Structure 1
């Protein structure tokens, strides 16, 4: 049996990535109800805001879902983890920081702990610290990214050789072919963010969804290299402004000011392309429709099974 399904008690090996301050109960619950693992991304939201989303999600589904705490982003990491304990969530996802100091408390509370890594070294340290699942993210992924810029295709097999835990592949996956490819590399499942943006349940601005649907294979851009704050965004007027500001020698503090979650919300929730940005992964170029979350997961599983069957037959 797939180890990931057993550990998380889910039907399909498909996880939702954390979405920062645009995270919401509707999409999280839809992913869990469809058989995947929905995730609430805490971003920089206050504990009260996150607790409200947790409570709303629990009203919409009794299936497992996770709380993603970006340790290096949120000023409320400890308080948020206490919320997860209070509400007896099934899992916690730790990203953007060192998970080791938080793992003893979470393990004592009985959580399945997922940790996001971008290198073999990080994966080994997470396993040694007591993590249950490794999410290995390549720099094809949307949003905040590792400055290492390692691709998912090369990262997954190297991490598979380095750890014995279930590994989830993230970055560049949006259909059944991607799922099949990651399973063939040894991963136990996949995590997706951009693909879930373009679903019927996702309560984001139509402009965001339209930009994803219209994207070509080169319609995302990396910003933040000059200040050591890597982000992958959709190519929009605002992301072009950020690139120009880097060329002009923007400071790290000013860059951080221009890429706060407030600007994220302006882009994704208000459709404001002049004052806000849209996170978007390289997989955007593959996305051409807006199905329901249930339709998407069912289709992906069917495609993955067919792809693996054809690949196996071709080798015989």
Structure 2
């Protein structure tokens, strides 16, 4: 059995990425019911909001799920950890900060701990601190990314060669071919974000989904480099406003205000693409339809199996 699936208690090694304050229980339930690991993001949410999502998930499914905690921006980390223990949440993904102080207490409560990493040094530190899984996320991924800006398929083999614990690939994956490629480079599972937004189960504004489906090869953009706040978003009127603000060299505080979760909600939930941003990974260029999560996962497995059969390598003989 696949190590990721075994550790997480799921059928498929497909993990939903954390989606910050636009997380919602229904999508996480759909992912878990389809055989993957549904995830809700703590974002900057208050503990009572996170708890309500946990209760909603528990009401709709008995299958495993996870909570993503972005340590650097979540103001109630200790309260979220208390909720995880209270409700016996099966798995946690720690990102955007040093996970070491939190790993041992989580494992004491029998929580599977995953750590999002951007380089092999972080991966080794996470493993040494007791993490069960590391998620190697390249900068093809949506949302906030590491300043190194390493691509997934550059980062992944380096991380896989650096640790003994299982590795999950994140960033730029949305079909079976991507799954197969990631596994050939050392991953045992994949994390999906943008591709799951473009599903019938995602409760985001239709304009967001439609924009993903119509995105071309240059459909995403990077903002925040001057502020060491690398973020990949969909190319929209508001995204251009952010770039213009960078050229004007607005203060960091003003930039952070323009890219906070309230603006994320304006774009993603309310569909106001001229007033708020929408996170999107480079996989957007490959999204052409809006299936259910179950349909997507079934197709991905079929694509991976078909692609594997089609691979033919020449035989090299030494003379």
TM-score range with shorter-chain normalisation? over 0.9
Deviation (angstroms), 1:171: 0.2
Distance 1:304 1:153 in 2: 17
1:210 lines up with 2:210 in the alignment: yes
Instruction: Write the mapping of 1:117-128 to structure 2, written as runs, cut at 5 A.
Output: 117-128=117-128
Distance 2:230 2:112 in 1: 28
Deviation (angstroms), 1:211: 0.4
1:240 lines up with 2:212 in the alignment: no
Deviation (angstroms), 1:309: 2.2
Instruction: Write the mapping of 1:143-222 to structure 2, written as runs, cut at 5 A.
Output: 143-222=143-222
Q: Which runs of 5+ in 1 are unaligned?
A: none
Q: SS of the residue aligned with 1:179? A: helix
The Cα RMSD (Å) is 0.8
Residue number in structure 2 paired with 1:308: 308
Distance 1:309 1:134 in 2: 29
1:7 lines up with 2:15 in the alignment: no
Residue number in structure 2 paired with 1:281: 281
Distance 1:92 1:182 in 2: 22
Q: Deviations over 1:210-265 (max 9, x none)?
A: 00000011110000000111100000010100000001111111110001100000
Task: Give the paired residue count.
Answer: 315
Distance 1:305 1:88 in 2: 35
Distance 2:309 2:133 in 1: 27
Residue number in structure 1 paired with 2:36: 36
Distance 2:274 2:73 in 1: 24
Distance 1:113 1:195 in 2: 24
Deviation (angstroms), 1:306: 1.4
Residue number in structure 1 paired with 2:132: 132
Distance 1:314 1:230 in 2: 38
Distance 1:70 1:309 in 2: 39
Deviation (angstroms), 1:315: 4.9
Residue number in structure 2 paired with 1:109: 109
Distance 1:173 1:128 in 2: 28
Q: SS of the residue aligned with 2:26? A: helix
Distance 2:72 2:196 in 1: 24
Q: Deviations over 1:245-300 (max 9, x none)?
A: 00111111111000110000000000011211100000000000000000000110
Distance 1:49 1:252 in 2: 28
List structure 1 segments (4+ residues) > 6 angstroms apart after TM superposition.
none
Q: SS of the residue aligned with 2:233? A: strand
Residue number in structure 1 paired with 2:295: 295
What is the TM-score with the length of structure 1 in the denominator?
Answer: 0.98
Q: SS of the residue aligned with 1:136? A: strand
Deviation (angstroms), 1:60: 1.0
Distance 1:241 1:51 in 2: 35
Q: SS of the residue aligned with 2:221? A: strand
Distance 1:215 1:82 in 2: 40
